[in-house]
Amino acid sequence: MRLHPGRNATFLRTAARAAPFALSFLLPATEARAVPAFARQTAEPCQVCHVGGFGPQLTPYGRNFKIHGYTQRTSHNNPLAVMVIASYLNTQKSQSPPPAGFAPNNNWAVDQVSLFLAGGWGDHFGAFVQGTWDGVANQFHWDQTDLRAVDDVKVGRTDVTLGASLNNNPTVQDPWNTLPAWEFAYTTSTLAPAPASAPVINGAFAQETIGLTGYAWIDSKYYLEGGAYWSPSANVLSSLGVDPAALGAISGAAPYGRIAYQNDIGPGTLELGAFVLQAHIFPGLDHTTGFTDRYTDLGVDGSYFVARKNGDVVTLQTRYVNESQRLDATCALAGAPPATCAHNSLRDWRIDASYYWRHRYGLTVQYFNTTGSPNDVIYAANRTFKPDSAGFVVQVDTTLFPNADSFNHRANARIGLQYTGYTQFNGAGRNFDGLANNAADNNSLRVFIWVAD
């Protein structure tokens, strides 16, 4: 669960009509999917495309399938699929106030039920379209969407795949699991406490935007992508089940760029990349100040994938983002001088490693750390006026049908145990909110089952 930094100061909504940049009801959109429709289309077992035999972490084969627009097939098939995620959540300290409609602790929930249209049509067109019922918010909304057009060409002696993606979330089209749309942890619960601050690329645009990007995959090594994102009208977003004021409205277009290099090195496949996103946003759809909030996210990422001869898989993934903020609109709405309020920065780093035994039993460990400049307006709810949060996630899981013996290449399921621990939360390790609450109070233990058919 990752939220926009402005959520720290929820008083801004009341005092200055600036909607907090909250995406909590959209968080299932940041969880990734395993779609049996693709397995039926390719007649390949889940482990060919997915680490651990279940989505969303992709193997190099799965990355290639995505870059080629989901078009590879051995037969025409039903492109529909369904997914259900349910979980039990315990937090170290009971939440006060409790999540709406739930107890202060020890909650069971159907986190989400999703329906997919996923497949390729001909050699040039493919789609991944998801609609989700959020069992926590009790609301249906459109979810991850990625429509593709692709073609393979020759430039001299070099093979080049050219593609275009119409999508609704920067990085949802990306083939690597280092960027936010498909990052670990691949399933989370919106019932769990989570830090209030993160770079906007970490989910703030999900389902709030429409984007068009074009890309080139050169010699199966070099990836280049560029495009831009726009805000649909408030009426359109509302009809799609999302809050149009959660992000606000993009002024003009928000450019996005991505480069990456992938090659076999040593026993595995190495990827190194960089990305950029810049946006000018009217917070809470408010145009009265004449200002916008400006965000520039610059990041680098890397991954290493090793498939051992015995069938075991090892992965390492990391990402670093530096966000520069100029929050003129938010500060004006709060009645704060822009000279002392508007200029801020966030730095977000995370690294995770996983080991899957025979694609069936997995262990993943992640460390995350978010730091930033102090601000007594933007982070007024934090005792230290800092956005800093840090901690770790440990997950053990098993995939029930990862291999070629999976029945019908259809149903699959994962059962997992996920523990999230915090050493810092919203600015401090102890008494972070001035109400005697400590970072570790937000530690959570989650047991989940994830079924797809």
Using CA atoms, how far residue 440 sits from 46, 256, 303, 388, in Å, is 37, 36, 30, 14
* Confidence at 25, pLDDT banded by 50, 70, 90: very low
Q: What is the pLDDT of residue 32?
A: 37
Average of per-residue pLDDT values in the chain: 90
Instruction: State yes or no: pLDDT of 334 exceeds 90.
Output: yes
**What is the tens place of the pLDDT at every residue in 112-167?**
999 999 988 989 999 999 999 999 999 999 999 999 999 999 999 999 999 999 99
Q: What is the pLDDT of residue 20?
A: 31
* Confidence at 405, pLDDT banded by 50, 70, 90: low
Domain tally, the chain: 1
Q: What is the pLDDT of residue 34?
A: 54
Most confident region among 21-35, 70-84, 424-438 by mean pLDDT: 424-438
Q: What is the pLDDT of residue 410?
A: 66
Instruction: State yes or no: pLDDT of 87 exceeds 90.
Output: yes
CATH of the domain at 292: 2.40.160
**What is the tens place of the pLDDT at every residue in 201-221?**
999 999 999 999 999 999 999
Q: What is the pLDDT of residue 425?
A: 98
The residue range of the domain holding 434 is 5-452
**What is the tens place of the pLDDT at every residue in 346-364?**
999 999 999 999 889 999 9
Q: What's the whole-number mean pLDDT along residues 314-330?
A: 98
Q: What is the pLDDT of residue 17?
A: 33
Question: Which range has the worst mean pLDDT, 156-170, 173-187, 295-309, 409-423?
Answer: 409-423
Using CA atoms, how far residue 274 sits from 178, 219, 226, 321, 417, in Å, is 11, 19, 12, 10, 32
**What is the tens place of the pLDDT at every residue in 216-266?**
999 999 999 999 999 999 999 999 999 999 999 999 999 999 999 999 999
Give percent of the chain above pLDDT 70.
90
Q: What is the pLDDT of residue 157?
A: 94
**What is the tens place of the pLDDT at every residue in 253-289?**
999 999 999 999 999 999 999 999 999 999 999 999 9
Q: What is the pLDDT of residue 295?
A: 98
